[in-house]
Amino acid sequence: TWIMANETIDIESNEPPSGGVSSELDSEGDIIRATPVHPSWSQFRGMSCVLTPSTDRVSPLPVLRWANPTEVWELMCRKDEISTHERDEDVFSKHPGLQPRMRAILLDWLIEVCEVYKMHRETYHLAIDFIDRYLSHKKNVPKQHLQLIGVTCLFIAAKVEEIYPPKIHEFAFVTDGACTEAEILDMELVILKALNWNLSPVTVNNWLNMYMQLCCDNRKKARSNEPDVSFLFPQYSGLAFVRTSQLADLCMLDEESLKFPYSVLAASALYHTCSREFALYVSGLQWGDIAKCVEWMSAFASVVREEGQSMVLASVRQGSVTTDSSSSSGLIKSIPHIVLDDSHNIQTHIVDLQMLDKAKARLSETATCSETPESPRHQSAAPLTPPSSSGKQLSEHKKTPSSMTTF
C-alpha cells in the first residue's frame, strides 16, 4: 500500500499515528510504504460506559420502519449518559478566571446571533454542548478567550447542522473585531481535538422534539404493531414547542443545568408546560429521576409564565410560529396533524439575562425559606450578586450581535 507522507502525520504532534500503519520514507523522501501494525488500545478507552447503560428505561418509541425502536432508544440513552459524564458540573473550579455569569452572557449573545442569521435551535444547543464539554476538558482558560471559544463552537455547530451555514467572515464580523477569521480556524482544530471529534450528542432540543412527538394524540392510542411512518414528521403544535423550548433555553443559561442529563432537563421542562403524566410516559423515567430537576426548574417556570408569554406571542404575531398543527398541504391526507412550518425550529431570542436573574433570585429565596432556624445560612442562599458594570452594559444596551465585547 502506498500513501502520501502528509496523510500520516498527526496535526499537533507531527508524529506518525500510534496504530494502523508503520511507514518508511523512500529515497526521494516524499512517499512512504505503509505496512499494517497492531492498533493502539487507546481507541477502546471509555468503551465500558458506552456498551452498558446504567439505567433501564422502558422505550416509549412506536414501531419504526427504518430501525429497531429498542436499539434506537438504547443508543440515545447511552449517548445521554456519555454527554453527562463529559460535562463537569463543577467546571468553573478548573477556570479561576471565569465566572458562571460570563457563561450566561456568552450563551445569551449566541442566541441573538442565531436569531439574526436564522439558525436552528439544534445548532444553538450543539454549540452549548461543545462549549461545556471543552471547558470541562481544559483548565485555566482566560476570560479573554471565552468569546472566541463560543463563536468557534457556534461555527462548528452551524457546519454540522445548517444546510447553508453563515460564512466564517460573518462569524468574525459579529464579534466586532474581537476574533479574526484566522483565530477562529485555529481554535476550531483545538476544540475538535479536545472533543475527540464527537459532534453528535443527543441535545435537550433532540429530546424535546421526540417527547413532543410522543405527546401527540395519536401517541396516546394503543401502539400498533405496524411501522409508524408519521412519527418521522412533526405533528405537535409549534407554539407549544416554542413555549417549552423557552423554558429549556432559560434553564440552560444557568450553570446549575450542568448537574442534569439532557433527557432529564427536557422531561422536566415538559412537566412544567404539559403534565407529570406525559413527562414520565414519554421519557421512560421515574419520578425520582426528575424530581430534583423539576424542583430546581420551578423558579424558571414561574418567571417564564409571568414574563415569557409576551415574547412568544410577539413571535406568533410576526408569523414565525405556527399556532396549530394543521396545514392545507396534501400531506395532511396521508399524515394527519403534520406540521409543515419549520419556523418553530429556528432559534429565537425569547429569554434574556433579566429573566435569568429573577429566576436565580427566587431560587435563593426558596433556599432561604427552606432553612430551619437551627441550620446555618449558607452562602448559596445569599441575595444574587449584581453583574459587573460591563455585564450590565452588555445585557441592557446591546442591539445587534456585533455589539458584544470581550469578557
Query: What's residue 54's pLDDT?
Result: 47
In this structure, what C-alpha cell is assigned to residue 39?
Answer: 492498533
31-36 vs 2-4, strand pairing mode:
antiparallel
End-to-end Cα distance, the chain: 51
Percentage of the chain with pLDDT > 90?
52
**Residue 157, Cβ density class (10 Å: 0-12 exposed, 13-18 middle, ≥19 buried):** buried
Question: Could you report the per-residue pLDDT of 276-328, keeping only the tens digit for each?
Answer: 998 999 999 999 999 999 999 999 999 999 886 665 555 545 544 544 444 43
Residues 208, 281: Cα–Cα separation, whole Å:
13
**Which residues does 290 contact at the CB level (< 8 Å), separation at least 6?**
264, 267, 268, 271, 279, 280, 283
Q: pTM for the whole thing?
A: 0.74
Kindly report the average pLDDT of the chain as a whole number. 77
For the stretch 225-253, pLDDT in tens is 555 556 666 677 788 889 999 999 999 99
On the question of pLDDT at 341 being above 60, the answer is yes
Residues 25-55: tens digit of each pLDDT: 444 444 444 444 455 545 444 444 444 444 5
- Reference 133, options 206, 200, 49; nearest CA is 200
Residue-wise pLDDT tens digits, 105-116 = 999 999 999 999
Better-scored residue on pLDDT, 340 or 381? 340
Give the pLDDT confidence score for residue 400 in this predicted structure: 56
- 25 - beta bridge partners? 32
Closest by Cα among 363, 240, 242, 241 to 300: 363
> What's the alpha-carbon Rg for the chain, to the nearest Å?
23
Contact by Cβ (8 Å): 352, 376:
no
pLDDT of 386 higher than 70: no
**pLDDT for 14:** 43
Domains of the chain: 2-40 (no CATH), 92-201 (1.10.472.10), 202-370 (1.10.472.10)
Evaluate if residue 21 carries a pLDDT over 80: no
Q: Residues 124-176: pLDDT tens digits? A: 999 999 999 999 999 999 999 999 999 999 999 999 999 999 999 999 999 99
Return the pLDDT at 236. Answer: 72
CB 338 within 8 A of CB 329: yes
Res 389 pLDDT > 90 = no
User: Could you write out the DSSP letters of every residue in 209-239?
Assistant: HHHHHHTSHHHHSPPPSS--GGGGS--S-HH
pLDDT tens for each residue of 356-379: 999 999 998 887 776 645 444 444
Question: Which pLDDT tens digit goes with each residue over 78-87?
Answer: 999 999 999 9
